[in-house]
Structure formats: structure tokens, C-alpha cells
Amino acid sequence: MSIAKSGQVPTAITATDSNATPIERPIPSGAHAPAFGSDVVAETLRALDIPYISLNPGASYRGLHDSLVNFLGNEQPQILLCLHEESAVAIAHGYAKVTGRAMAAAVHSNVGLFHATMAIFNAWCDRMPILVLGATGPVDAMKRRPWIDWIHTAADQGAIVRNYTKWDDQPASVGAARESVLRAFWIANNSPQGPVYINLDAELQESRLATPLPPIDARRFLPHVIAGPPDDLVRKASALLGAAKRPLILAGRGSRDLGAWNRRVQLAERLEAHVVTDLKVGAAFPTDHPLHIGPPAIFAPPELLAALRDADVILSLDWVDLGGAFKAMGSSPTATVIQVSLEHHLHNGWSMDYQGMPAIDLFIAANPDETVEALLVALGEDPIAPKRTSVGSRPVPARPSPDDVMTVADMASVLRHVVGDRDVCLAHVPLSWHGDFWEFRHPLDYIGSDGGGGVGGGPGISVGAALALKGSGRLPIGVCGDGDFMMGCTAIWTAVHYRIPLLIVVANNRSFFNDEVHQERVAVARNRPVENKWIGQRISDPDIEMAQIARAQGADGFGPANNASELEEALKEAIRVVENGGVAVVDARILPALR
Ligand SMILES: Cc1ncc(C[n+]2csc(CCOP(=O)(O)OP(=O)(O)O)c2C)c(N)n1
Ligand SMILES: [Mg+2]
């Protein structure tokens, strides 16, 4: 009896070793040479060494889907089924945050792309590479099925995401589709990185190849782009920094590369420069280093403003909002400002994510990591006369009392205590997270925020990061607000299904609390009752059982943990689950309060 007739669905998912991602293995199709347009697209993805394609299916790309399964055998790239396009893209985003490299995500025609938009925007603002594949058509109206093919065909579908992708294309032939995939991957991965979108005509995918395409060597279409700084600018910058008495380094966007991290430390020590880091982006400098100032923060903290006022030379290594930091000071700094960034290549007239314009005295259009390397060479080995005292480390947050209700700080403190000296990757933190909660000592200790401020990205980004970290020995932890978790929680199913170990801690204040703070501000400004700020914000009555949301998707759910001792117990068990390869969600009930 055929599978279709029996109504049985094969669900076997197999893995060759415990670190491999289990795979839904298709029965062999016998297809060995590309025979259809979409086979060529699929084999190009493989030639680019793209390991995964996260997707939610749709008829617009049924040709490509078939090629992934029956031509490639669902390997390299392997399909990761997602329950929502937003999590398909968020997973690719999280993967890129750890690896620095694009994987693919596929979304159905216009409607799937609509669902994916916020996650694409998040990745765009975060400057993270993703190869988003979509589909439309048939573009030739004579080939369309009645109704459905018409509502799911749009002229210039790329326009939906053009303003927040690096590049998009709708290739008109199979040869052009192959070139498009190569170009897209190359563009996405070159700095400044970002998401790209290719829209594949359904007819092109399903068309039978009349003649095979001439073979190509994909690697030759990915030329290395030198993004290093020009020598004369490095000389000028090193002279300014070498002569500075109170240099300050704003360590902004940097790679997850440990060598680059160590060189940043070397540069700061060589210059005795104070260093500030940013919670919006991944860890860029050890936060417990004697030269690190203040906690990393989302919004410019007082320590940053004081350091900016104090400095005589400021080196910004692609600081996300330099103009905003200067504005928060009240005026441009008196210091000489060196900005190292390639950001301007991405700026367009639609999104204002380019931020305010900073005053700059020396601009180096180059990759910050490569510039640090060049500055170290230019500064040479000679010791620079000691200029400053070190700042010293900050106190470790106190442990909360076991039976009291918890603040977000209490929750973080318990988490930190239970984690102990394990290697951890904080894959996501909520807006209420304070930089004081956690020290970062390695580039993978923290991979930054969602980029675009799009709530709902936390779970998917955490799953993508966990996917990339699988087998590394590092424990991935996504701390999500309850609002964030509920918007993106179906990403959990993908983690469970593909055996991606992950701990999610839900900072469950039963509120879209960040916006309560806004309502409070408005009430105060208008002299209206602050007591009403909770209305239209609280996610209670009924309170959502996050553990049940997890269990319903096959994860282990713990909690609700209402105090520190309950949380400690829940976290211990949850970490045990994750260390045994599982997915665990802990519902930490906290007060709707800032600290
Ligand atoms: C997609 C989206 N919708 C709404 C908002 C506005 N917003 C910003 S923070 C926030 C609250 C998020 O709630 P939660 O994740 O529970 O975090 P909390 O503020 O409670 O710590 C909201 C609704 C947003 N940034 N993105
Ligand atoms: Mg909340």
C-alpha cells in the first residue's frame, strides 16, 4: 500500500551522531543530474556550502521544494521546517549572528514574504546576512492556475522588502537564477552584511532544462573583498591615538572572531584607552576588563556620556548610533573623533536606521576588525607612557532572597548563579535587561539584540543561534519577554523537531511592560492618572502558562517559578535537559518593574 493511500505520514527523523542535526531522509528519487530549473537553484545552494534552509512551504516554490528533497536528498542544504515565516527568517538571523555567515530561508510568494518582513527588517538593522528565497507567478499569465496563482502573483514583489535588503532580484531564466544566487550570497556576506531576496518565478522553477547549463566553479564567483583601511588613514589615526592622553574606544559592531576580540583588547591596553560596549550588538570587549567603562547598555548610559566628555580622542569602531550618543551629551564632543565604519554603503532614503549624523574628524571607510589589526601594526611594540588608571570591575549583583517575588534583576542573578562557570551564549535578552546582570568575556558570550526592535524575534533568533552552537559545548540561553515569547514561540517546535538544544527563560512580567513605562510618561506629562498605565498592556487574567506552551510543542516546560528558590530548582532541571540535548523553557514570573 502506498503511503498516500494508507494515510500514514513518515515522521522518522534520523541522525548519524549526537551532534548532527537529525534529518528527514527522503526515499531515493534516482535524480542525479539537474533536469529542472529549480534543480539548478538547489545545486547552486549546495555549491555555496549552505548547510540549512529554514522554510514554511508554499506552492509558489513547490519546484524548489521538490529539488531540495528529491534532487539534493534534503542535505546541504537541509530543510528546517518552521511554523511561521517570521521564525524561518529569525532562525537564519540567529545563525548568522553566531557564524557571521548567511544560511538560506525560503518563504511563499507575497503572503509568506509579508509574514517574513519584520524578521528581515530585524536582520537588516542588525547588519546580518541571510539569503531569503521567495517565489511568485507563474509570471506568464497564460500559465497561471485560476484564482490562487493570481492572488499570489505580484508585480515587483521584491518591492515589499527592497528598502531593507541589500539587494533583490527576479531572474528571468535558469542561467540568470544561478547567477542571482551566487551574486546574492556574495553581496549578503560582504561587509557591511545584510539580508538579500531572490524571487523565483514558479514557471522558471518548474521548467524542464532544454540543455544542461555549463558547469561553473562557485568559489570563483565569491571573490574576497578587501575591506581594510588605507595606510595613510591608519598612520593618521595611530598618530592621533598615540598622542592622546585620554583615548576612548567605542567598541560597536564587531565579529564573533576570538582573534579580533583579542586584538581589540591589545589595542586598548596598548593605548590605555577606556572602552565602552553596546548591548544592541554582540559582545565586543571583556566587560570585566579594568579598562571597560560602565555596563553595556541599549541607550547611552551616564558612564558613556561622562567618558565622551572626558576623552581627548574617540575611536568609534562602528558604534551603532554615534550621532545619538553625541546628541545625548548635549553637543558634539571636544575630542577628536575617528569613525571606522562601512555603514554608509547601506544607507537609503527609506529607513532611518542610519541614525543621526555625528561630527567626525577622521573617517576610515573600512572593516573595524581589520582596522584594529592595522592600527596595532602602525602603533608598533613600543610601550606608550602610562596615561591613566584602570577603571576596575563592577560589583557582582547580590543574590535575591529565596521567597520574595522577583524583579528582572533577581531573575538574572539566579540564572547567573545556576549557570555557574559554564560557557554560555546569551542569544537574546529583553529590553529590561541591564548590562550589570552579566559579564561578557568571550565574543560568543553575547550575540546582541534583535537589531530592528521588532518584538517576537527572540525565540527564533535563539533557535538559530543554538543551531549554530550545537556541539560547541556552549550553552545557548535566550531570555525573552513574555510578549516576545508569545509572538515567536512556535520557533520552539523547530528546535525540538531538529533536536537543537536550547534553554529559553521567559522573563514573564505578564505585560508588554516596556509600553507601560511609556503610558506612565504620557500620564505624567498630561497630569492624568498613572494608575491606568496597565490597561491595554497586561497579559493576565488569564496568565499564560509558558511551560504548557513549551510542552505542547514537545519541549520541557518548567514553572511558573514565583520566587528565587523555585526558579533555581527549575533552572537546574532545565539545564540538565538542555545538556542532554533537549529544549527547555522556564517560566520566570517577575514583577512588572524596571529593576
Ligand atoms: C512587532 C512589535 N510590536 C510592538 C512593539 C512595541 N513594543 C516594544 S517593547 C514591547 C513590549 C514587549 O513585551 P515583552 O516582550 O513582554 O517585554 P517587557 O517589556 O514586558 O519586558 C512592545 C509591545 C515592537 N517593538 N515590535
Ligand atoms: Mg513582558
- Side chain identity, residue 386: P
Task: Give me ligand 2 centre to Cα 539, in Å.
Answer: 8
| Residue located nearest, by CA, to atom 18 of ligand 1 | 513
SS3 54: strand
4 pLDDT higher than 90:
no
pLDDT score of 232 = 97
Q: Are 107 and 88 in contact (CB under 8 A)?
A: yes
The answer, yes or no, to whether any atom of ligand 1 lies below 6 A from the CB of 449, is no
pTM above 0.75, yes or no: yes
Task: Give me ligand 1 centre to Cα 537, in Å.
Answer: 10
CA distance 574 to 569: 9
390 pLDDT higher than 90:
no
The answer, yes or no, to whether any atom of ligand 1 lies below 6 A from the CB of 171, is no
How does residue 402 score in pLDDT terms, banded at 50, 70 and 90?
confident
Name the residue of 411, 514, 587 whose CB sits within 8 Å of the most ligand 1 atoms, as the mutation to test its pocket: 514
How does residue 3 score in pLDDT terms, banded at 50, 70 and 90?
very low
pLDDT score of 64 = 98
The answer, yes or no, to whether any atom of ligand 1 lies below 6 A from the CB of 515, is yes
Q: Taking Cα atoms as reference points, which of 409, 398, 405, 396 lies closest to residue 564? A: 405
Mean pLDDT of 228-246: 97
How does residue 15 score in pLDDT terms, banded at 50, 70 and 90?
low
pLDDT score of 85 = 98
- Give the chain's mean pLDDT: 94
pLDDT score of 16 = 53
Q: Taking Cα atoms as reference points, which of 448, 582, 452, 594 lies closest to residue 504? A: 582
Task: Give me ligand 1 centre to Cα 511, in Å.
Answer: 9
How does residue 387 score in pLDDT terms, banded at 50, 70 and 90?
low
What contacts 389, CB < 8 A, 6 or more positions away?
Answer: none
Cα diameter, the chain: 83
The closest ligand to the CA of 125 turns out to be 1
Which has more confidence, 201 or 390?
Answer: 201
What contacts 490, CB < 8 A, 6 or more positions away?
Answer: 82, 83, 84, 87, 459, 553
How does residue 360 score in pLDDT terms, banded at 50, 70 and 90?
very high
CA 350 to mean position of chain CA atoms:
22
Residues with CB under 5 A from ligand 2 (ion): 481-483, 509, 511, 513
Q: pLDDT tens-digit profile of 543-559?
A: 999 999 999 999 999 99
% of the chain exceeding 90 in pLDDT: 88
* Positive or negative: CA dihedral 283, 502, 127, 163: negative
